[in-house]
Amino acid sequence: MPELPEVEHAASTLRLWLAEAPVLRARAAATRLFRAGDHRLFEQRLTGRRLERVERRGKVLLLSFDGDVGLLSHLGMTGKWVRRPGSDTPAHSHAQLELPGAFVLHYCDPRLFGRLEVHRAVDLLDLPVVRALGPDPILDGIDVAALHGRLEGTARAVKVAIMDQAVLAGIGNIYATEALFRAGIHPARPARSLTRREVGRLAKGIEAALGEVLGRPAEEIAYLSEGGAVQNPFLVYDREGEPCPRCGRALEKRVIGGRASVFCGRCQKG
């Protein structure tokens, strides 16, 4: 599932691909991607428009075009934007933006868990799905006291709690796994058991995990979505059975909150 770094990379590439180029034609199939609106509105409102800006809040992309036309794009579990020559249509392309120079931007989503919604551009940041998000660790930073206050009010496993988008926007399975390892906190610990000092370590772990990956090449950021085609760039994620990079003990895996969690039983005590 795309997480904050993958969505930030998508925002950067969309800014590049759509820079100063009008959308010659927008096309879309009638799929559940448009469950909040009509696919024909996507075609009508985006045709002829020029991109003004792309914003990201957590895992949500907010595209503003001239004429007060806005597009919310949530990549869901398997969604991504790709650019191809006009004659090359990738698999699972459900919406297209035709551009000058015979290029087409395709929104591809095999499982159709993503969303595309057309709104007024001025309303994008006030949409309920955006307003419900918690602080964005990159855009807003992490207030340790506020995070501690949120965590001490829940008995959920700390990993489940920090993946709640109302607690922190953009954190998913990969970066929760990495951050908890860096902080030396077991992923199954009740969130309310963490001390303020431990939450401070967790905040630093989140910032370090995100910051390191955001500074890496795009192909490493896209590791998960590309099916692991490049070398795994993470410390513990997807490394069950390998030696812990700190103590050398074999990394363990447990399902927590329905997601696989890799951790070190020695460095991350319960």
Domain harbouring 67, CATH code: 3.20.190.10
Residue 187 sits in the same domain as residue 73:
no
139 occurs within a structural domain: no
137 occurs within a structural domain: no
Residue 150 sits in the same domain as residue 116:
no
Of 27-41, 157-171, 236-250, least confident by mean pLDDT is 27-41
Domain boundary among 84, 110, 131: 131
Residue 177 sits in the same domain as residue 258:
yes
What mean pLDDT comes out for the span 92-117?
95
Of 17-26, 56-65, 82-91, 216-225, least confident by mean pLDDT is 216-225
Structural domain tally of the chain? Answer: 2
Residue 123 sits in the same domain as residue 165:
no
Using an 8 Å Cβ cutoff, are 98 and 24 in contact? yes
Residue 52 sits in the same domain as residue 169:
no
Half-sphere exposure of 198 (CA within 13 A, CB side): 20
Residue 9 sits in the same domain as residue 118:
yes
- Residue 7 Ramachandran class (φ > 0 left, ψ -120 to 50 alpha, else beta): alpha
Residue 115 sits in the same domain as residue 39:
yes
58 occurs within a structural domain: yes
More confident residue, 215 or 79: 79
Confidence of residue 214 (pLDDT cuts 50, 70, 90): confident
Instruction: Tell me the percentage of the chain whose pLDDT exceeds 70.
Output: 94
What mean pLDDT comes out for the span 92-98?
97
- 216 pLDDT higher than 80: no
Using an 8 Å Cβ cutoff, are 172 and 3 in contact? yes
Instruction: Tell me the percentage of the chain whose pLDDT exceeds 90.
Output: 87
Confidence of residue 184 (pLDDT cuts 50, 70, 90): very high
DSSP string covering the chain: ---HHHHHHHHHHHHHHHTT-B-SEEEE-SSGGGTTS-HHHHHHHHTT-BEEEEEEETTEEEEEETTTEEEEEE-TTT-EEEEEETT-PPTTEEEEEEETTTEEEEEE-TT---EEEEEEGGGGGGSHHHHT----TTTT---HHHHHHHHTT--SBHHHHHT-TTTSTT--HHHHHHHHHHHT--TTSBGGG--HHHHHHHHHHHHHHHHHHHTS-HHHHTTTTTTS-S----SSTT-TTSBPTTT-PBPEEEEETTEEEEE-TTTS--
Instruction: Identify the domain containing residue 49 by its residue range.
Output: 4-131
Structure confidence at residue 230 (pLDDT)? 64
268 occurs within a structural domain: no
Residues marked active site are found at 2-3, 59, 259
Sequence-distant (≥ 6) Cβ neighbours of residue 18 within 8 angstroms: 50, 51, 54, 63, 97, 99, 105
138 occurs within a structural domain: no
pLDDT in tens, 107-125: 999 999 999 999 999 999 9
Residue 86 sits in the same domain as residue 149:
no
Residue 56 sits in the same domain as residue 109:
yes
Dist CA 192 CA 15 (whole Å):
41
Using an 8 Å Cβ cutoff, are 127 and 160 in contact? no
How far lies 189's CA from each of 71, 107, 147, 156, in Å? Answer: 39, 38, 16, 8
pTM, entire model: 0.92
Domain boundary among 131, 163, 197: 131
Confidence of residue 269 (pLDDT cuts 50, 70, 90): confident
94 occurs within a structural domain: yes
pLDDT in tens, 137-175: 999 999 999 999 999 999 999 999 999 999 999 999 999
Residue 123 sits in the same domain as residue 160:
no
- 224 pLDDT higher than 50: no
What mean pLDDT comes out for the span 10-25?
92
Residue 126 sits in the same domain as residue 157:
no
Residue 127 sits in the same domain as residue 169:
no
Dist CA 86 CA 74 (whole Å):
24
233 occurs within a structural domain: yes
Mean of the per-residue pLDDT values for the chain?
Answer: 93
232 occurs within a structural domain: yes
Confidence of residue 21 (pLDDT cuts 50, 70, 90): confident
Domain boundary among 131, 163, 195: 131
Structure confidence at residue 35 (pLDDT)? 85
